[in-house]
């Protein structure tokens, strides 16, 4: 019997709002990396026809130019559209406890607030998906480079 080879697919698209300001750091080799969490909600009707809302909190990591752009343009409350892939990572805390998490490795982020800092100023701005002037995109052209960076991302 021949072995079936399934295609690999790991792609996520999500819209949400930052739960706090992004944190920009640099790895030991000087590569910029930013971490933040978003809250993404969905509305639905329950079995009684009453509207409900569920919120899902997701961690996001972005690298290099995209990381720097996130630090410059995103703040607590900012709306963004993220395209990326799920990744898991593990680390050991200072007291020896093992931790792991699943987060989004962002490849592309669209800043949905029309003007930078709009969410911070209390102005929701224009939330159209096509706000091209706020569309930052970083595609990792060298997968080996990304693999090298992953080992340096054990900050938690």
Question: The domain spanning residue 19 has which CATH number?
Answer: 2.40.50.140
Q: Residue 1 falls within a domain, yes or no?
A: no
Q: Which residues pair with 88 in a beta bridge?
A: 102
101: domain range? Answer: 12-111
Percent with pLDDT over 70 in the chain: 72
Q: How far is residue 111's CA from residue 47's CA, in Å, rounded to a whole number?
A: 35
pLDDT band at 147 (very low <50, low <70, confident <90, very high): very low
Q: What value, to the nearest 5°, has the Cα angle with vertex 145 and ends 142 and 150?
A: 130
Question: Phi, psi (5° rounding) for residue 134?
Answer: -110, 20
Q: Residue 80 falls within a domain, yes or no?
A: yes
Q: Which two tokens stand for residue 10?
A: 């790991």
Q: Residue 116 falls within a domain, yes or no?
A: no
Q: Residue 77 falls within a domain, yes or no?
A: yes
pLDDT in tens, 12-56: 999 999 999 999 999 999 999 999 999 999 999 999 999 999 999
Q: How many domains does the chain have?
A: 1
Residue 154 scores a pLDDT above 60: no
Q: Residue 72 falls within a domain, yes or no?
A: yes
Q: Residue 29 falls within a domain, yes or no?
A: yes
C-alpha distances (whole Å) from 18 to each of 2, 21, 93, 111, 140 are 47, 7, 25, 11, 23
DSSP state of 114: S
pLDDT in tens, 92-120: 999 999 999 999 999 999 999 876 555 55
């Amino acid at each position: 019997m021949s072995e079936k080879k399934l295609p690999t697919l790991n792609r996520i698209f999500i819209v949400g709002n930052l739960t706090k300001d992004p944190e920009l750091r640099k790895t030991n080799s000087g590569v910029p990396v930013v971490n933040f969490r978003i809250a993404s909600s969905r509305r639905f009707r329950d079995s009684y026809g009453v509207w409900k809302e569920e919120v899902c909190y997701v961690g996001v990591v972005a690298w290099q130019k995209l990381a720097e752009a996130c630090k410059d343009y995103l703040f607590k409350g900012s709306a963004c559209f993220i395209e990326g892939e799920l990744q898991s990572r593990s680390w050991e805390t200072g007291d020896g406890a093992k931790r792991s998490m699943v987060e989004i490795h962002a490849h592309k982020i669209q800043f949905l607030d029309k003007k930078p800092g709009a969410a911070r100023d209390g102005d929701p701005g224009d939330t159209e998906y096509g706000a091209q002037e706020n569309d930052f995109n970083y595609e990792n052209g060298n997968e080996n480079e990304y693999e090298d960076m992953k080992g340096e991302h054990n900050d938690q």
